[in-house]
Amino acid sequence: MNVKQWNRAIFLILAAALLVAGASTAFAKQEVRVFHAGSLSAPMAEIEAQFEKLNPDIDVLREAGGSAALARKIVDLGGECDAYFSADYAVIDRLLRPDNANWNVMFASNELVLMYGPESKFADEVNADNWFEVILKPDVRWGHSDPNADPCGYRALMVLQLAQEYYDRPGLFQEALDDPLRAVRPKAIDLVAMVESGAMDYAFEYRSVAVQHELDYVTLPPEVNLADPALADLYATVGVERAGKEPGTTIVTKGAPIVYGCTVPTHAANPDGGRAFVEYALSADGGLKVFEEMGQGIVGPKAAGAGEENIPDCIRKLLVK
């Protein structure tokens, strides 16, 4: 091959490479990274599918986990997140504001239940009157998620505190904490597979998750299940000490009705994509319909706390006054 032929070959190779690179760029999808509570995994999978169908140029990348753990990932580990959905709207105020979020919208509710499966011991006799006696039987394995990482975890402990008073059972809460067969897992969704397989007999879980996985559950009284906004004062009489925002510190989280919240972090890499996804998730014919069909109540959507003026217009128009 002479010099002229060699140069022509090099030119053709470079031209082909540029064409491939251009085509790759042209067809590259915009990424939207979404962090969400584990209890939202099923509805979020459906919302993602619907959103991507409407927006074929967008690729939604979801990460599920404990709401507090995901918030700390944003704050402490620089986790890239364009839209954040928490199982407790207060986590946004407590862990993300003011540096990592400047608005907060409530959108759904839930309740805690005692979930069990086909292999669970005493499944044929457990009910709303005796569930606390059943889980404390010597051969019964039960559990909840980590209260330092997942709202469902500290809410499970609140349920036990409320149950102690409601059922007039002094010492119930401490007895439950001391039970050697009590298991704690990082997030509530981890407990589903354990109950399904029979590795765990009972677990405190959100009603929506039990419904989505077609598992049986004990419906707890409103005075215990953290579902009724009218009982907010009662719920606030209990609380759980947890790890604080700063290492080595602790905080006490008081009981409150279960309400989910969302935001777009102030340091989002793709804030436009994050806002678009939140807008769809909060739309009546989009995400809200999915949440409701999968066992959750709808709250608003409405602004939570200060910062309503910071809510993007595309989301503000969806708020219920």
- Average of per-residue pLDDT across 75-104: 92
Return the higher-pLDDT residue of 304 and 24: 304
Helix (H, G, I), strand (E, B) or coil at 222: helix
pLDDT band at 218 (very low <50, low <70, confident <90, very high): very high
Indicate the pLDDT class of residue 180, thresholds 50, 70 and 90: very high
- What is the distance between the terminal CA atoms of the chain, rounded to a whole angstrom? 77
Instruction: Please tell me the predicted confidence (pLDDT) of residue 273.
Output: 97
Taking residue 93's Cβ as centre, other Cβ atoms within 10 Å add up to 19
Least confident range from 131-145, 194-208, 232-246, 261-275: namely: 232-246
What local confidence, expressed as pLDDT, does residue 2 receive? 56
Q: Is the pLDDT of residue 304 over 80?
A: yes
Q: What angle do CA 113, 117, 119 make, to 5 degrees?
A: 145
pLDDT given at position 20: 46
Q: H or E element: which one contains 46?
A: helix 41-54
Question: Percent of the chain, pLDDT > 70?
Answer: 91
Of 13-27, 28-42, 95-109, least confident by mean pLDDT is 13-27
- pLDDT the model gives residue 5: 54
The residue that leads in pLDDT, 11 or 244, is 244
- List, for residues 123-178, the tens digit of each pLDDT value: 999 999 999 999 999 999 999 999 998 899 999 999 999 999 999 999 999 999 99
Exposed, middle or buried: residue 60 (CB in 10 Å: 0-12, 13-18, 19+)?
Answer: buried
Average pLDDT value for residue range 275-279: 98
Q: Which of 217, 297, 261 is nearest to 92 (CA)?
A: 261
119 three-class SS: coil
Q: Which residues make Cβ contacts (< 8 Å) with residue 140, sequence separation at least 6?
A: 121, 122, 134, 181, 201, 202
Q: Which residues contact 240 (CB under 8 A, 6 or more apart)?
A: 147, 154, 157, 158, 161, 252, 253
pTM: 0.80
* β-pairing verdict for 83-86 and 105-109: unpaired
**What's the pLDDT tens digit per position in 98-130?**
999 999 999 999 999 999 999 999 999 999 999
Give the residue carrying structure tokens 């929506």.
208
CA distances from 169 to 28, 127, 162, 177, 241 (A): 60, 16, 10, 14, 22
DSSP label at residue 92: I
What is the structure's pLDDT at 1?
54
Determine contact, residues 227/258, Cβ cutoff 8 Å: yes
Tokens at residue 214, please? Answer: 């077609």
Q: Return d(Cα 100, Cα 47) in angstroms, integer.
A: 25
Q: Is the pLDDT of residue 70 over 50?
A: yes
Q: State the number of CA atoms in the 13 A half-sphere of 85 facing the CB.
A: 28
User: What is the CB-side half-sphere exposure of residue 129 using CA atoms within 13 A?
Assistant: 1
In the chain the domains, ranked by start, together with CATH numbers, are: 29-109+258-316 (3.40.190.10), 112-242 (3.40.190.10)
Tokens of 33: 């990274």
Bridge-based pairing state of the strands 142-145 and 182-185: parallel
- How large is the average pLDDT for residues 70-90? 91
Q: Chain-wide mean pLDDT for the chain?
A: 90
pLDDT > 60? residue 18: no
Q: What confidence score (pLDDT) does residue 243 get?
A: 75
Name 293's Cβ contacts closer than 8 Å, sequence gap at least 6.
none
Q: Give the burial class of 14: count Cβ atoms within 10 A of its Cβ; 0-12 exposed, 13-18 middle, 19 or more buried.
A: exposed
Closest-CA residue to 139 (of 181, 95, 97): 181
The whole-angstrom separation of Cα 46 and Cα 217 is 24
Mean per-residue pLDDT for 61-89? Answer: 92
Residue 15 pLDDT > 90: no
- Report the pLDDT value the prediction gives residue 193, as an integer from 0 to 100: 93
